[in-house]
Copies of this chain bind each other. A is one copy, B any other.
Amino acid sequence: MVVMINESALESWRRRTEFPLAAAALIFLGAWAWPIIDPHSAQPWREACRFTTWLVWALFAVDYTVSLVLAQQRWRFVKQYWFDLLIIALPLLRPLRALRLIHVVQLLNRRFSVSLRGNVSMYVSVVTALVVFCAAVAVLDAERGAPGANIDSLGDALWWAATTVTTVGYGDYYPVTVSGRLVAMTLFLAGIALLGVVTGTLASWFTERVRETEETATATQDQVAALTAEVRALRQRLEGEQHRRDEGV
Interface residues of A, Cβ cutoff 8 Å to B: 116-117, 120, 155, 159, 162-164, 166-172, 174, 178, 181, 184-185, 188-189, 191-210, 213, 215-228, 230-235, 237-239, 241-242
Contact = CB atoms under 8 A, between A and B. Distances in A.
A115 to B, nearest CB: 9
Nearest to A197: B202
Contacts of A120: 206
Nearest to A120: B206
Contacts of A159: 181
Nearest to A234: B235
A21 to B, nearest CB: 27
Given A166-B191, A200-B205, A228-B230, 8 more contacts: A116-B213, A199-B200, A201-B203, A216-B220, A216-B221, A217-B221, A219-B224, A237-B239
Given A159-B181, A219-B223, A225-B223, A200 B192 contact: no
Contacts of A172: 171, 174
In order of increasing CB-CB distance, the 5 nearest A-B pairs are A200-B202, A204-B206, A168-B169, A200-B203, A170-B171
Contact of A192 (B166, B174, B234, B235): B166
Contacts of A193: 198
Nearest to A170: B171
A202 B202 CA distance: 11
Contact of A234 (B195, B203, B222, B231): B231
Given A171-B170, A227-B227, A230-B235, A198 B196 contact: yes
B192 A192 contact: no
Nearest to A193: B198
A194 B192 contact: yes
Contact of A207 (B192, B207, B222): B207
A116 B210 CA distance: 7
Contacts of A116: 206, 209-210, 213
Contacts of A234: 231, 234-235, 238
A237 B235 contact: yes
A174 B203 CA distance: 31
Contact of A202 (B174, B199, B238): B199
A213 B193 CA distance: 24
25 contacts: A162-B184, A166-B167, A166-B191, A167-B168, A192-B194, A195-B198, A196-B202, A199-B200, A199-B202, A199-B203, A207-B208, A217-B221, A218-B218, A219-B219, A219-B224, A223-B224, A227-B227, A227-B228, A230-B231, A230-B232, A230-B235, A234-B235, A235-B237, A238-B241, A241-B242
